[in-house]
Amino acid sequence: MSPPTKEIQLEGAGLHTGAQARVTLRVAAGPTRLRVGALEARIDELEVVSTARATTVSACGGRLRAGTVEHAFAALAGLGLYEGVTLELDGPELPLLDGCATAWCAALTRLHVAPHRPPLHVTRAAVLEVGPSCYEFAPSAAIDVTARIEFDDPRLDPEACWQGDAADFVDRIAPARTFALAHEVDELARRGLARHVDPTSVVILTPDAILHAGRPFTPDEPARHKLLDLIGDLFLHGGPPIGHLHATRPGHAANARAIRRALDEGVLARG
């Protein structure tokens, strides 16, 4: 085990802007917070303001803004770090790093912050549909979250789940890399943004091949990454919740709308 430290810095390019960014992770008393420049907000004070290929949040009347927060937030949720950490961002979006949550988990683990139970829980059974996406909730004494993809691609396993164990998150969920369809990569290239992405951090799905470098690809990796993103989006509200959540065709926009509806309708509650 590495010795504890009070502060760690991570640097890299953002996936969508290509801009260099630095994130400083600090041990800090109280609820986990995000700081951008001179502005700071608790995670539960952040508002989702964009879900275009990532989750962008803001606070302080829009003056605090940060893009692509989902991988770092998933790592915080997977490790149960609802308290004790401040993330300070210098840049427009969080860096892609390894394209998943492994680097975030490794850095956060070095802070040796004690985990806590999530403050969010499922209060009653409900099924919420958001366009083609579906979110099924049921009360339980334990965390049980599942993501199911429907890509009509026999090369892929459609489902991945997680029951709240931190070690399992680090070993199995955190390493699931960002993936993209071939036409999405072409669009990034046209915008001049694809050249900064390390090939080892992204899996590309084409009709004829699954392109990847570095670690081997497994058929459930896209589903595991969708689960990773869902966990990160849920962290904004104190989740993943204690209870069952099965999400079919989750995505950042649908996640934000479904979680908001579940809170407004009393399906999810804090405390």
Q: State the catalytic residue, choosing from 121, 225, 246, 252.
A: 252
Which is it for the CA torsion 20, 172, 207, 233, positive or negative?
negative
Does residue 178 contact residue 203 with C-beta atoms inside 8 Å?
A: yes
Q: What is the 3-state secondary structure (H, E, C) of 1-60?
A: CCCCCCEEEEEEECCCCCCEEEEEEEEEEEECEEEECCEEEEHHHCEEEECCCCCEEEEH
Q: What gap in Å lies between CA 213 and CA 15, rounded to an integer? A: 17
- Is the peptide bond prior to 240 cis by the omega test (within 30 degrees of 0)? yes
Question: Quick check: is 252 catalytic?
Answer: yes
* C-alpha span between 62 and 155 (Å, rounded): 42
Q: How far apart are the first and last CA of the chain?
A: 33
How far is Cα 159 from Cα 268, in angstroms, rounded to an integer? 23
Q: Show the tokens assigned to 82.
A: 């609802």
User: What number of residues does the chain have?
Assistant: 271
Catalytic residue ranges = 252
